[in-house]
Structure 1
Amino acid sequence: MSKTEAIENSLPKRPLSIRLGKYLRPLFNDLIARSSTVSNDPVLDPAIMPWTAMLEKNWKIIRAELDAVLKRRNAIPPLGQISPDHARIAADQRWQSFFLFGYGVKVEENCKQCPQTTALMKRIPRLNSAFFSILGPGCHIPHHIGVTKGLLTSHLGLIVPKDRKNCRFRIGTNMVHWEEGKTILFDETYDHEVWNDTDETRVVLLIQVERPARFPGNIARNIFMEGVKKSAFVKDAQDNMAEWERAHRDVEVALR
C-alpha cells in the first residue's frame, strides 16, 4: 500500500452528499462534455479565454503582490490542513494555497492584501476560484482528477524554478512546464500529477472558471456546481480556513 493510499484509508468517511456527488459525477461529466462549446482535450489553447491575455499582460503586477504575501509565508496554510477532501493528495505540507476566491466566496482579508490582483479577478467572467498555489522544493502532488468537467483550470506562471525541466506537470499523457508570465489552460478531469524536483519554490496563480457549454450541459454544470458549493466539500474548507486565520491572528497578537 502506498503512503497516499494509507492516508486515504485512515480518513473518516465523508458525508453522504460528497459520496453521492462522486457517484453521480461521471453522468454529469459526460453530459457536460457532449455539450461543451470548447475542446474536451486535456490541454487547451489559452486564447479561447480572452481574460488569459489580460492576466499575462499584468502578470508583473500580480507577481509584486505575491512577493509581499510570501514575506509572511508561515501564515499561508498547507492545503491539506484546510480541505479534508484533498487530504490524500495534499499530505505534503509544502503545498500551500493563498485563496482570493473559493467557489464564488471572496476571502476578504486575503483580497485586501492583493487589491490589484483582486481587481483583475473581478474582470474574469464566471470565475469560480482564484488562489496562489505554492509548491516548495521537493514537493510532489500525487496523481488525481478534479471535481467536475464543468470547470476549466488555468495556471499563470509567477515564480518558476530555473531548472524548469524538473518542475513539471503531467495532464493525461501531456507533460508541460510552467513559464513566468504565461498561461496553461487545462481540464482537471484528466488524471494529472505535479513534481517540483528542484531546490526552488514554484508559484502559479490558479484560476477556475465555468466551462462554456450549451443546453443541456450548461444546466447539468450549474446543478452540479450548486451542489458542490452547498456540500461539506466547500463548507468544511471554509470553516477550517476561518479557524486557521483566527489561530494565526492570535499568535501574531501574542508575539507583539
Structure 2
Amino acid sequence: MHFPPNLLAPTRKVVAAAFQQAISSKPTGIALRRYITWLENRMPTNSPAGGDALVPNDPFPWATLLERSWKSIRSELDQLSHNFDALPRFDDISPEQQRISENANWRTYFLYGYGAPVARAYDRCPQTGALLDQIPGLITAFFSVLGPGSRVTPHHGPYKGALRYHLGLQIPADRERCGLRVGDHTLHWEEGQGFFFDDTYEHEVWNETDEWRVVLFLDVARPLRFPYSVMNEALIGLISRSAQVATARSNHEAWEESFERLFDASAGPRKP
C-alpha cells in the first residue's frame, strides 16, 4: 500500500524519535550493537539495493548525472593535482584508518562530511559541490587519492546502512595494475564510470603503477523501506555525533588552514 508523503511525515517523526531515544538511552555498547545487528539483518530484503557485495546503479538515478558531469569534476580536481603530496593522509584525518593504510600513500580532499559540506572545498570546487547537493542521503564525499605503489590492506566497513560509490576521475593508463577487490569480485576503475558496493564485505585496494589514482568517493544512506529508512537515518545521525567523527572534523579543520595558505601561494594572486 502506498501512502502520500504528507500523511507519512508525522509517523516518520514518531518512529524517528522513538528509535533515537531507544538507541541513545542504552548505557552500553553491547545494547547498541544489538540494535544495529537487528536492523542490518532486515536490510537486504527491505532495500532495492539488495544484499550482495556489488550494488546495482538503478536505485541511484543521480549517479548518471555524476557520470555525465565527470569532466567538470575532473577539471576542479586538476587544480589540486600539483599539490597531491600536500593533501592529508587519510589516517591524519581519521586515525583509526592507520591500521589499513600504513603502507599506502592514501590522501584525501574532503568535500562533505556527515551531513555538512566543507565550505572551503565547495568554494574551490563549486561545480562538484552543486552536484553533491543533488544527492539524497549523502553522508561523506571526498577525492580519494592513492599514490603510486600503494596498497590498502583487506578490511571491511562497520555498518550496512551506508553504501559506497566510486567515480573514476584520474586512472592510471595500466588499469589492470590498479584495482579493488570486494568479496570475490575484482574491479578496475575507468574514467567517467562509477560503481556501488557494500563496504561491509571485505575489500582491498592497490595501485601498482607509477601514476596517481583518483576517484570521487561517496558514502550514501542505503535506500530502505519505511520504517527501516527512519531507523537508519537515526543511526547515521548518532554516528555523526560520535567522538571519532568529531576528531576527524577537528583534524580536517586544522589541516585546511595550512592548505589554504599553500593553495593560495601556488595558485598566484586571485583575480579581482
Structure 2 length as normaliser, TM-score? 0.81
**Residues 101 and 18 (structure 1 numbering): CA distance in 2 closer, same or farther, change over 3 Å?**
farther
Q: Which residue of 2 aligns with 1:104?
A: 115
**118 and 26 in structure 1: CA distance in 2 versus 1, 3 angstrom threshold:** same
Superposed CA deviations along residues 189-230 of structure 1, whole A, max 9, x for unmatched, are 111000111111110001221111013422331222112101
Higher mean Cα deviation, 18-27 or 160-169?
Answer: 18-27
Alignment of 1:1-256 (within 5 A): 23-24=33-34, 25-92=36-103, 94-249=105-260
**Percent of pairs with identical residues:** 39
Q: CA deviation at 1:36?
A: 1.9
Change over 3 Å in CA distance of 1:34–1:217 after alignment to 2: farther
Q: Considering only CA atoms, is the larger Rg found in Structure 1 or Structure 2?
A: 2
Separation in structure 1 between the aligned mates of residue 194 and residue 88 of structure 2, nearest angstrom: 25
Q: Aligned partners of 1:201 and 1:91: how far apart in 2? A: 17
When residues 54 and 19 of structure 1 are mapped into structure 2, their CA distance, relative to the original with a 3 A threshold, is: same
| Alpha-carbon separation, structure 2, partners of 1:22 and 1:78 | 31
Give 1:146 shift: 1.4
Q: Does structure 2 conserve the Cα–Cα contact (< 8 Å) formed by 1:156 and 1:205?
A: yes
Q: Counterparts of 1:179 and 1:240 in 2: how far apart (Å)?
A: 31
2:104–2:152 CA contact under 8 A, matched in 1: no
Counterpart residue type for residue 35 of structure 1: N
Corresponding residue SS for 2:64: helix
Moved more, 99-108 or 17-26: 17-26
Letter in 2 for 1:109: R
User: What TM-score, normalized by structure 1, do the two folds share?
Assistant: 0.85
Contact kept? 2:48, 2:59, Cα under 8 Å? no
| Counterpart residue type for residue 106 of structure 1 | P
**Structure 1 residues 129 and 144: CA distance shift in structure 2, 3 A:** same
Matched position secondary structure for 1:71: helix
CA RMSD of aligned residues (A): 2.5
Pick 1 or 2: higher relative contact order, CA cutoff 8 A, min separation 6. 1
What is the distance in 1 between the residues matched to 2:132 and 2:122? 10
Query: 1: distance between equivalents of 2:32 and 2:173?
Result: 39
Post-superposition Cα deviations, 1:32-57, rounded to whole Å, max 9, x if no partner, equal: 33422322111122233111110111
Unaligned runs of 5+ in 2: 1-26
The total of aligned residue pairs comes to: 240
- Within 1, Cα distance between the matches of 2:215 and 2:31? 28
Match of 2:5 in 1: none
Kindly state the Cα deviation for residue 30 of structure 1 after the two structures are TM-superposed. 1.7
